[in-house]
Amino acid sequence: MRCALSGAAQTALGVSDSAVLAHAPQGCNYLVDGAFSWQDCDYAQTTTLCTKLCEDEIVHGGEELLARTILEAKELEISALFVLSACGPEIVGDDIVAVCEDMQPQVDFKIIPIECAGFRGSQYDGIDIALEAMLRTLAANECPKIPNSVCLVAPHANANPTWIADLAWVKEVLAKLGIKVVATLTHETLLSELTNISAAEGVLQLSHDAGYKAVSYLADNFGVEPLCADVPLPIGLTNTRRWLTSLAKRFNAERIAENLIEEGERMVTETCRRRWPIARFFYRTPAAIIADATIGIPLVRFATEEMELTPALVALRSVRPEARRLLDNELNNLGIAPHVLYGTDVYATRRSLAEVRPKVVFGSTIERHASEGLDVPYVFEVVRPVRQFRMLNREYFGYRGILNLLECIQNEWSDRWRSKERRYAARW
């Protein structure tokens, strides 16, 4: 998992008509480049800057250089400049907040400092830090509420690399339910949306890994109601049904939701009948789910009810208390007691896999390698599938999302039977 600077950059780059200035050595700026791709930014439209700190700025402080770089950004046609600090400048005590305040009168755009040094935590901590800085700096005092409206929080805190499709599905469903989206924190977000965010009646958090603090801030300061907080995200048939029902109930759109559910479930069932995937061959097979909470928690029910697997290990890379409670509730509700691991890393995962010995692993390319030699026949790379190139975004949320997951599973199954060596290994 990457550091806080990466998460803050992902968040800042989701705001349109703005630029990101990393107050960092040039190596750390690589994380900003990664975040650029994560938000699907366009090089023709979005600019990133870096102070490229060297030894002199570490010894004497880099505030002067930061001030000069902010002035250089005057040439850009932007509404906001997000100034992100990396570890080096924060360790030596650069006060980026003071520099931004000093420079504000000299520029036409809004400067938003975000103190997000890598040592402050994971990329999810960075997302929380950035969201908080944005809300504190940009959200105006209570705007008049817009009826039937929501804001969306942390869609990018999701291990699906094409999470933008998940967000698109959510927006599509909200439109069908007659719910207006006031702002998205963040993806192609206008500064005016951020300013008016308190006009939203409700807030939908699209991650179990980040965004909890932003949701609390919106609720406490602007009376924005948290929605669907106690149900997993809509991955899998049951979760999607629960999520849609919970949302529709709040906005008195139950009838529309019922139609959406009926139509969606019919589409999934008919597609499966025609294409005939082999999911039934996995009946009661011991499975491990190793993922971020956003995908991992909903996958537990998907694996148990829809795939009819038996989860033997659930290892989540993050460890938010709210996510922990949600997972506990899910496990109780499903009546299963797998081995659960929070804040896992490759070493802990490997050890747990060796202990539990599952036959199926939901994870990433990393888990494929971590499973080497452990007689794990099937590794479904549904989390950050780095071995696959995707030209188009593919959602995991909703009904098309279920088919996308089943497609991953079917391909892994077929791939295994195409290889003699792997076919023998799969004869468990």
Partner 1 sequence: MAFKGTTVRGTVVKGIAMKQIAIYGKGGIGKSTVASNISAALNERGVKVMQVGCDPKRDSTRILAGGHLIPAVLEIYRDKLRQGQDAHAISLDDIIFKTSSGIYCVEAGGPEPGIGCAGRGVLTALQILKDLKAFETYEIDVAIYDVLGDVVCGGFAMPIREGFASEIYLVCSGGFMSIYAANNIARAVQRLARRGDAGLAGIICNSNGDDALERAVVPAFAERLGTAFVEFVPHSSVIQACELEGRAVVEHAPQSEEATIFRELALKVMENDTKVIPTPVEELPELEELYRKNVP
Q: Which lies closer to partner 1 via its Cβ, residue 60 or residue 369?
A: 60
Q: Which lies closer to partner 1 via its Cβ, residue 70 or residue 199?
A: 70
- CA neighbor of 352 nearest in space, from 334, 337, 338: 338
CA distances from 175 to 179, 182, 257, 315 (A): 6, 12, 11, 35
- CA–CA distance, 335 with 170 (Å, rounded to integer): 29
The nearest distance, CB 28 to partner 1, in angstroms, is 16
CB–CB of 291/316 below 8 Å? yes
Q: Which helix (H) or strand (E) holds 289?
A: strand 286-291
Q: Which lies closer to partner 1 via its Cβ, residue 92 or residue 425?
A: 92
Backbone angle region of 113, left / alpha / beta, with phi > 0 → left and psi within -120 to 50 → alpha? beta
The nearest distance, CB 22 to partner 1, in angstroms, is 19
Task: Indicate which single residue of 93, 144, 321, 335 sits in contact with partner 1 (rule: CB under 8 A).
Answer: 93
The nearest distance, CB 54 to partner 1, in angstroms, is 8
- CA–CA distance, 337 with 328 (Å, rounded to integer): 9
Q: Which lies closer to partner 1 via its Cβ, residue 53 or residue 366?
A: 53
Residue 94 in the binding site for partner 1 (CB under 8 A): yes
- CA–CA distance, 66 with 50 (Å, rounded to integer): 9
Helix (H, G, I), strand (E, B) or coil at 153: strand
Task: Indicate which single residue of 91, 140, 278, 354 sits in contact with partner 1 (rule: CB under 8 A).
Answer: 91
- CA–CA distance, 17 with 27 (Å, rounded to integer): 25
Binders of partner 1 among residues 366 to 385 (CB under 8 A) are: none
The nearest distance, CB 356 to partner 1, in angstroms, is 42
Q: What angle do CA 408, 6, 387 make, to 5 degrees?
A: 25
Task: State in Å, rounded, how far the first CA of the chain is from the last one.
Answer: 33
Question: Which of these segments, 88-96, 139-147, 178-186, 302-310, binds partner 1 (CB under 8 A)?
Answer: 88-96
Binders of partner 1 among residues 39 to 78 (CB under 8 A) are: 55-56, 58-61, 63
The nearest distance, CB 24 to partner 1, in angstroms, is 15
Q: Which lies closer to partner 1 via its Cβ, residue 93 or residue 335?
A: 93
Cβ atoms within 10 Å, residue 252: 11
The nearest distance, CB 85 to partner 1, in angstroms, is 14
Residues for the chain: how many in total?
428
Burial category of 419 from C-beta neighbours within 10 Å (exposed 0-12, middle 13-18, buried 19 and up): exposed
Question: Which of these segments, 11-19, 92-100, 118-126, 218-226, binds partner 1 (CB under 8 A)?
Answer: 92-100
The nearest distance, CB 25 to partner 1, in angstroms, is 13
The nearest distance, CB 57 to partner 1, in angstroms, is 8
Q: Which lies closer to partner 1 via its Cβ, residue 57 or residue 166?
A: 57
CA distances from 15 to 81, 110, 154, 189, 192 (A): 10, 12, 12, 5, 10
Residue listed under structure tokens 């948290």: 226
Single-letter amino acid, residue 3: C
Which phi and psi angles does 204 have, rounded to 5°? -110, 120
- Tell me the per-residue interface mask from 116 to 155 with partner 1, x by CB under 8 A, - otherwise: ----------------------------------------
- CA neighbor of 311 nearest in space, from 302, 320, 303: 303
- Contacts with partner 1 by CB under 8 A: the residue count is 11
Q: Which lies closer to partner 1 via its Cβ, residue 60 or residue 390?
A: 60
CB–CB of 304/310 below 8 Å? yes
Q: Which lies closer to partner 1 via its Cβ, residue 58 or residue 334?
A: 58
Q: Distance between alpha carbon 286 and the CA centroid of its chain, in Å?
A: 27
Question: Which of these segments, 86-94, 189-197, 262-270, 357-365, binds partner 1 (CB under 8 A)?
Answer: 86-94
Q: Which lies closer to partner 1 via its Cβ, residue 64 or residue 142?
A: 64
Q: Distance between alpha carbon 349 and the CA centroid of its chain, in Å?
A: 21
Q: Which lies closer to partner 1 via its Cβ, residue 55 or residue 77?
A: 55
The nearest distance, CB 91 to partner 1, in angstroms, is 7
Binders of partner 1 among residues 308 to 327 (CB under 8 A) are: none
The nearest distance, CB 26 to partner 1, in angstroms, is 16
Site of interaction with partner 1 (CB under 8 A): 55-56, 58-61, 63, 91-94
